[in-house]
Amino acid sequence: MRPFRLILVAGIMVLCIVLLSSCKGRSSDRGDGSSDPDISSRDGFVIRYCPKWQPQAQFAGIYMAINKGLYAQYGLDVQVQELMQASDAIDSVSEGSLDVVPLDLLAAIIANSEKTRLVNIGQISQKNTMLLVAKKSKQINSLADFEGKRIGIWRSSSNLITKAFLKEQGISMQFVTIDWSINLFLQGGVDVINAMRYNEYHQMLQAGLKKEELFIADLHELGCRIPDEGLYVKPEFYQEHPKQCKAFMQATKDGWLYAFSHPEETVDVVMDLMHAAKIRANRAHQIWMLNEMKKNVMPSAAEIGILKKEDYQRALNLLKAEMDFPRDIAFEEFYPNGAK
């Protein structure tokens, strides 16, 4: 009898373990996207996110949503994947090995040129933050003085807005591809360079250049009002998990609001991430970046996370005019959260 009892007890224990594992699996894959204050991030619905660049305050909303457990409060387990090129990230989302990727609006629309591969679940940037910067010592004091000069532009799709602006203005320049560095500009190798206000422009000031020494063309102020970065998933993922997508975006917005309300704490977190990644960390630069991102992400509280129909249509019209874009993608198809 004793061996039989031992076998029976062992069998019951195995059954309990199997049932518990099954319940945990279902809770990790639940479909309602509701917030559960007691749930840990380990038990949440997994969302795999790939950053656009190395750790910096440009992504503070994501960092603080993770750091403060905001995703977990919405029943999500956000897993940050290794950095990859935008084209590789788009392919990874389409193939299902990534769930969410940040992209510039123009790049995301272009990725949908043949069919809809990506949909926007939230618009982080509300402005075009691109600047074209030149030294006045190069006899550049107006846009007309750009004609025939050498301009440093990035290799990535972020250069699309610069090229489109110059074409619209009828300005012909010599393009020199650069890799996210201002060194060639500082050394006089190019006459003009594209720069983000929250990043490279401040690097120039830290390198010793003074604002009054520079001619700055602010593309947003000059009417090129196409916002930068949004968050994208493949349409099938959104259709299967709409509540989780909306929860991810809401937690990300909460992360940005926390970051802007607690700037010193946020910069501490950013600096720790930069040190862990073994990249150069400049606190003054990260403070500048966070302050500028606030102007970009939240020009007003009502705008945070929203893709405006007029911004989308402006971007689509530009692509249709400049590169004979083959499709007229409906706003509600590209941005299902905006469907009424």
Give whole-number Cα distances, 296 to 49, 148, 189, 246, in Å.
Answer: 22, 32, 30, 21
> How high is the pLDDT of residue 68?
96
d(C-alpha 289, C-alpha 271), whole Å = 12
Residue range 105-120, pLDDT digits in tens: 998 999 998 898 999 9
Percent of the chain whose predicted confidence (pLDDT) is above 90:
65
> How high is the pLDDT of residue 51?
87
Token pair belonging to 237: 């993922």
> How high is the pLDDT of residue 323?
75
pTM of the model: 0.82
Contacts within 8 Å (CB) and 24+ apart, 283-287:
284/206, 285/202, 285/203, 285/206, 286/56, 286/57, 287/57, 287/263
Q: Please compute the mean of the pLDDT values over residues 249-267 and round it to a whole number.
A: 97
Which residue segments constitute the domains of the chain, with CATH numbers given? 41-127+227-338 (3.40.190.10), 130-218 (3.40.190.10)
d(C-alpha 320, C-alpha 327), whole Å = 8
Residue range 162-185, pLDDT digits in tens: 988 898 899 999 999 998 789 999
With 70 as the cut, is the pLDDT of residue 66 above it? Answer: yes
Between 151 and 179, the more confident residue is 151
Encoded amino acid at 280, one letter? R
d(C-alpha 311, C-alpha 316), whole Å = 9
First to last CA, the chain: 68
Asked if 76 contacts 248 with a C-beta cutoff of 8 angstroms, the reply is yes
Q: Please compute the mean of the pLDDT values over residues 57-86 and round it to a whole number.
A: 91
d(C-alpha 34, C-alpha 13), whole Å = 32
Between 57 and 34, the more confident residue is 57
Using 50, 70 and 90 to split pLDDT, how confident is the model at 340? low
d(C-alpha 129, C-alpha 222), whole Å = 11
Between 91 and 261, the more confident residue is 261
Of 8-17, 72-81, 115-124, 191-200, the least confident: 8-17
> How high is the pLDDT of residue 4?
39
Using 50, 70 and 90 to split pLDDT, how confident is the model at 339? low
